[in-house]
Amino acid sequence: MKRFLFLIGFLVMLLSACAGSAKNPPPHQEPVPWPTGPWDNPFPQIKGQETKFTLTDTQQALFDAYSKDFNFDISLLKGVSPMDVAHVFIECGIEGYWEGEYNLFYFDTKTVAKEEYKSEYEQDIATRDLRSRRAYADILLPFLKDGTFIDDGNGSGHIEFNSYENTADYEGLAAVKSKMHFKQVNGIWMIDQNNMFDTE
């Protein structure tokens, strides 16, 4: 009888937990309201250069498939080159698709909860115009497409590319060599969240 009561109690607890998680499912991407009206670009173009972060037709097709209906199914990127994954990832950030970014993260030592990442995104767009993300990519990541992927072994690798680094709140920029780091998981090159970018 005691064992029977224990099982009943356990089932009640299990059902309560399931009901609680159904009430509070993990956050999911919603349509992004695009800002309108006047905008003062905080990331002006570099003098004498017209730089743009762009996707190839293949990368655009991958981004469209990955972001369709806000599903962000990373299995669509299995076997895709790190360069193409990088461009899909960055375009997600530009468009405000925080879940698209999050799903492509590889967490090594420090894990960031989905709720925390969404909260950080919301804080960012509450204080900074979403349009600044593309302007930022246009000056700091336009040469990513010309970078070289280097396999570091053990399922790790990085793209080396030319970029710029702010010297004083983006009032000055210096040319640098940047690295974007990846980890391969189940045939998918994911972004190393704990060591995403570094510069030489």
Q: Is the pLDDT at 167 greater than 80, yes or no?
A: no
Tokens of residue 70, six digits: 């806000």
Q: Would you list the DSSP string of 102-156? A: HHTEEPSS----HHHHHHHHHHHHHHS-TTHHHHHHHHHSTTGGG-EEEEEETTE
Domains of the chain: 43-199 (3.10.450)
Q: Is the pLDDT at 76 greater than 50, yes or no?
A: yes
Tokens of residue 116, six digits: 């925390």
Q: Is the pLDDT at 93 greater than 80, yes or no?
A: yes
Q: Is the pLDDT at 62 greater than 70, yes or no?
A: yes
What are residue 149's DSSP bridge partners?
Answer: 159
Q: What is the mean pLDDT of the chain?
A: 86
* Mean pLDDT for the stretch of residues 185-193: 97
Q: What is the share, in percent, of the chain residues with pLDDT greater than 70?
A: 85
* Mean pLDDT for the stretch of residues 180-197: 96
